[in-house]
Chains A and B, each alone.
Chain A
Amino acid sequence: MAEIEIQATAVLDARGLLCPMPIVKIAKAMKGLEPGDVLRVLATDRGSIADVPAWAGSTGNVLLDWHQEGDALVFLLRKGGEG
């Protein structure tokens, strides 16, 4: 996926966490955001490459981009609308 410039509303550092904690932390962080807000997530669990898109798809949120920065996986998630 091409790297794109997206301004994040909030940042979540999930580095060092193992399955399923990255998506548990993402879900909690998203509850504090408004629809349209963007959460930037840093993770190191390689399972997140499959887990985060699946989570976004099943919860009505949108994965805008993901890429690797050094040892970290970076995910940009936009909170979906309510309902």
Chain B
Amino acid sequence: MADAQKLVIMVTHGPDQPELASIPFSMAGGALASDVEVVMGFQGDGCLLAKKGVADTVAAPGCTPLGQLLPTIQELGGKILVCSPCCLSRGLTLDDLVDGAEIVAAGRFVAEITSATNTLTY
């Protein structure tokens, strides 16, 4: 088998852009199914996707609904990291986010990205 690989997926679009909000989760699922470690980073309005209950409201034509994808990503071991200043400006605390999500700042994002095989940004 190939050496261990890690993919960081940065998500900057929120529920008002369901296709761009869904595709990164589809990529994460494909990566995890292929034995690639996945870290998802949520910034800007992307943070809203990690808010409890929001994923259940997001579905784009042709895409697996986010309410199915998000728990699948977490079940397969994908990490959910949410930008601290973006949460602050939106009044989000850890209690508002899905179980397992972490609120992190730039240093953690940079550490994840620089240790990844590849990074995708949506």
Contacts and interface: CB of A to CB of B under 8 A. Distances in A.
Interface residues of A, number: 15
B2 A24 contact: no
B63 A27 contact: no
Majority DSSP secondary structure for residues of A touching B: helix
Interface string A1-41: 00000000000000001111101101100000000000000
Interface of B: 1-2, 26-27, 29-30, 32-35, 62-64, 68, 72, 76
9 contacts: A19-B26, A21-B64, A21-B72, A24-B30, A27-B35, A55-B34, A59-B1, A59-B34, A83-B1
Interface of A: 17-21, 23-24, 26-27, 51, 55, 58-60, 83
